[in-house]
Amino acid sequence: MIRPTTALLSATSIAVFGMFALAQNGKQYVPTYYVDVQPILEKHCVSCHVAGGIAPFALDNPTSAVKWAERIGEVTKSEYMPPFPPGKDSQKFLNERRLGSASKKILQDWAAAKAPLGKAPRK
């Protein structure tokens, strides 16, 4: 006889595996503001892009980030933002203000997907 807990466990693992397989074969992962984008902006952009900061608009809230999403994708791809005047061939600096390629890809995929917000964390 199969015990109910065993049945439940196998049903769960089949479901989890199914979702995993779907995620692998199906559509590409779409980054969202709350899960993926907000932490990157917080770390790399908000020091200037904040009300009263040196940048002309804030990126510290979802409304503004979504409004600027397309430009965010473009300027991070071209490496115009975050501004870091030394070129790629210059010597290395401590704390270089550059985005890693994973972060850049997240911002570009997010912009391309029309800047979905995703689920806001519970306060």
Residue 24 phi, psi (nearest 5): -75, -45
Question: Which parts of 12-71 interact with ligand HEC (CB under 6 A)?
Answer: 44-45, 47-49, 54-56, 68, 71
Q: In the complex, what is the shortest distance from the CB of residue 92 to ligand HEC, in angstroms, rounded to a whole number?
A: 19
Q: In the complex, what is the shortest distance from the CB of residue 5 to ligand HEC, in angstroms, rounded to a whole number?
A: 48
Question: Which parts of 64-103 interact with ligand HEC (CB under 6 A)?
Answer: 68, 71-72, 75-76, 81-83, 99
CA gap 76, 103 in Å, rounded: 9
Measured from the CB atom, is 18 or 39 closer to ligand HEC? 39
Q: How far is CA 59 from CA 20, 105, 116, in A?
A: 33, 18, 15
CA gap 96, 86 in Å, rounded: 9
Q: Rounded to 10 degrees, what is the CA torsion of 66, 68, 72, 75?
A: 170
Q: In the complex, what is the shortest distance from the CB of residue 90 to ligand HEC, in angstroms, rounded to a whole number?
A: 17
Burial label for 31, CB within 10 Å (0-12, 13-18, 19+), is buried
111 binds ligand HEC per the rule CB under 6 A:
no
| Contacting residues toward ligand HEC, per CB under 6 A | 44-45, 47-49, 54-56, 68, 71-72, 75-76, 81-83, 99
